[in-house]
Copies of this chain bind each other. A is one copy, B any other.
Amino acid sequence: MGVIHRSLDMAKQIVSVVLKPGDTAVDATVGNGRDTVFLARLVGERGRVWAFDIQQQALAAAAKLLEKEGLASRVTLIHRGHEDLARYVDDNVGAVMFNLGYLPGGDRSLVTRPDTTLLALEAALLKLRPGGVVTVVIYRGHSGGKEEEESLLGFCSKLNQASYTVMHYRMLNQINDPPSLLAIEKLIQEV
């Protein structure tokens, strides 16, 4: 790996600086479960990870992986879309990770959608503690991917700069439309 981090690694880099043992974190898109494991390691034995996916296949794979890594007790797997996260997750969340698009190796017609993604992002921001971060890895290659990116960038451009810092990271010279990364840090609690 070079010195310039790609989106996935940059997201992990940012989250690993923020999360402390005992923290609460959210994996908004379990997918293959790799981010769930990453978060479960960072929050430690007394921390908690809430992990959402609408696909049973994803949750089953993640459960197996977490069991194998001895991390299952730190994670609550929830078979719901991430737009419901406000109903499950407590306040003072340290980090929320989104990985948009479809499940790798799964049904490519099942993709995240702008309307539910925006609802989930809004809920995630409210749940963050000051100093907490949301990372969103955005794929543009699939049908509807570019529109999803546009709607996320539009939403984030309007966030109050006194409350949030938003950075967008994108590679400029790649042929295969690699994912871009949105990273949002909460500065103060909005009233």
- Kindly supply a per-residue 1/0 record for chain A positions 156-177, scoring 1 wherever the CB is within 8 Å of any chain B CB and 0 otherwise: 1111110011111111111100
If A2-B185, A157-B173 are given as contacts, then 8 extra A-B residue pairs at C-beta distance below 8 Å, sorted by A number, are: A4-B14, A4-B183, A156-B173, A164-B173, A165-B171, A165-B173, A167-B171, A169-B169
Find out whether the CB atom of B174 lies under 8 angstroms from the CB atom of A161.
Answer: yes
Find out whether the CB atom of B131 lies under 8 angstroms from the CB atom of A185.
Answer: no
Is the CB of A61 closer than 8 A to any CB of chain B? no
Contact-residue size bin, chain A (C-beta under 8 Å from the other chain):
20 to 34
Contacts known (A161-B175, A173-B160, A173-B161); A133 close to B3, Cβ less than 8 A: yes
- Kindly supply a per-residue 1/0 record for chain A positions 44-74, scoring 1 wherever the CB is within 8 Å of any chain B CB and 0 otherwise: 0000000000000000000000000000000
